[in-house]
Amino acid sequence: MTADVSLYLGQPGAQNRMAPCVGQIVVRGVGASGQTHQGQKCLDLEVEALPPSQQLTIARNHVQTPLTVGWLQLDVELRTNQIPQRTIGRVLIDDAGMLPIGASRSGSARWLWELLPEDVERVEMARAVQPAAPIYFQVHVRGIAKLLDPDGSAVDVVTIRGATSQLIVELSQWERLLQQLDYSLPPSHPALAGLPSLEHPSWKDATARLQNARSHHRSGEDYDALRECLSALEAVVHAPYNKESWKRQLASLPEQKAEALAELFSGIATYCNRVGHHRDRSERNTAGDLSPMPLEHWEADLMVGAAQFVLTYAIRLRSAGTLVEPPPTTATTETSSTETSVG
């Protein structure tokens, strides 16, 4: 979890390997304490400043005088590890977070990491190749600082850059942090729907019902994600993979539209059922190999997204009284009376 960023005068590199180290910024971890910035929820970066292994000094009257570092400007970025790198969110640093670097530890501080939904989606896109792996962020630090002598007088104004370090967040912790941020749908999914759909209660209802599916999908558990989509559809209609299960509840619609909707809803459910739930039982499988169906992560991504729209559609039809369970049929028994005359 810890990311240790060594700070150097100027920019370290092949041409400047002898640049003096002025200390370290250590990111101890990521948390969520409910902090906000202009109404936007933020995560917390717990940081600490450490002195260099060799004290920075300046010669004064033939005596080496130790120097400390006081920040004038401090900029921090967290970026995705994959190329091309993407900056994720904004790191907000107040005066208390601009920790001076001296001859000893200067305590700890908290930086706010403001993540918007589109930032989270970029993280999800970057780790799609290995969805169950930890998440790696590169920490970039740079700034302008004053070098101060022991009496607080400024000796020089310098640029400081940090050697890039990695911050590792385990997937289970990332899931908890997303809950703290109230992150649910990737922004690209609602972007495909119009405001009348997004503002209808059915959209929010479908989002909540598919929460487990998205959690499995983010963890790389694609089969479980499809099974959760199927369960959400089963909560609306029994045996949703059966076209007739839908069609008999759409009796108020014209035959042609009822047929089209039944095929749409049952088609999504059939995919989730046969690919996410059932193993290979085809007639071509003469070896009897009950292996799961092949399923790529991007396929599960598309189907979880499709389930959001289909489930919203079905819930909205249900609330409007268009998708309705038909009344039970009652068998009427006709009884005949036989008159017997006695003579």
152 plus 220 within the same structural domain:
no
Query: Does some domain include residue 331?
Result: no
For residues 34 and 12, is the Cβ–Cβ distance under 8 A?
Answer: no
Residue 333 has pLDDT above 50, yes or no: no
206 plus 291 within the same structural domain:
yes
62 plus 159 within the same structural domain:
yes
Average pLDDT, the chain: 86
Report the pLDDT value the prediction gives residue 274, as an integer from 0 to 100.
93
Distances 126 to 79, 130, 135, 165, 314 between C-alpha atoms, Å: 10, 9, 9, 18, 32
Residues facing residue 29 across a β-bridge:
46
Residue 118 has pLDDT above 50, yes or no: yes
Q: What is the CATH number of the domain that holds 132?
A: 2.60.40
- Token readout for 234 is 């089963």
Lowest mean pLDDT among 132-146, 223-237, 254-268, 282-296: 282-296
Mean pLDDT on 244-256: 96
Report the pLDDT value the prediction gives residue 332, as an integer from 0 to 100.
47
Query: Does some domain include residue 212?
Result: yes
163 plus 197 within the same structural domain:
no
- Give dist(CA 320, CA 316) in Å, integer: 6
Confidence of residue 289 (pLDDT cuts 50, 70, 90): low
- The residue behind tokens 């009796």 is 251
Task: Give Cα 211 to chain centroid, integer Å.
Answer: 12
Structural domain for 276, as ranges? 185-319
Report the pLDDT value the prediction gives residue 341, as an integer from 0 to 100.
41
Q: In the listed set 122, 153, 179, which residue is the last one of a domain according to the structure? A: 179
42 plus 104 within the same structural domain:
yes
Phi and psi, residue 312, nearest 5°: -60, -45
- Give dist(CA 81, CA 238) in Å, integer: 45
What does the pLDDT look like over 5-35, one tens digit per residue?
999 988 544 345 578 888 999 999 999 988 8
Query: Does some domain include residue 334?
Result: no
Q: In the listed set 150, 179, 208, which residue is the last one of a domain according to the structure? A: 179
Mean pLDDT on 279-308: 78
Report the pLDDT value the prediction gives residue 83, as an integer from 0 to 100.
81
Report the pLDDT value the prediction gives residue 309, as an integer from 0 to 100.
96
Residue 255 has pLDDT above 90, yes or no: yes
Question: Which 3 state secondary structure label does DSSP give 133?
Answer: coil
The DSSP 8-state label assigned to residue 287 in this structure reads T
26 plus 154 within the same structural domain:
yes
Residue 129 has pLDDT above 90, yes or no: no
- Give dist(CA 71, CA 103) in Å, integer: 15
42 plus 97 within the same structural domain:
yes
Report the pLDDT value the prediction gives residue 15, as an integer from 0 to 100.
45
How many domains is the chain built from?
2
- Token readout for 61 is 């009257």
Neighbours of 246 (CB within 10 A): 26
Q: In the listed set 160, 179, 198, which residue is the last one of a domain according to the structure? A: 179
Confidence of residue 67 (pLDDT cuts 50, 70, 90): confident
Torsion of CA 119, 171, 185, 263, to 10 degrees: 140
- Give dist(CA 116, CA 42) in Å, integer: 9
Give the pTM.
Answer: 0.74
Report the pLDDT value the prediction gives residue 335, as an integer from 0 to 100.
44
- H-run or E-run covering 143: strand 135-148
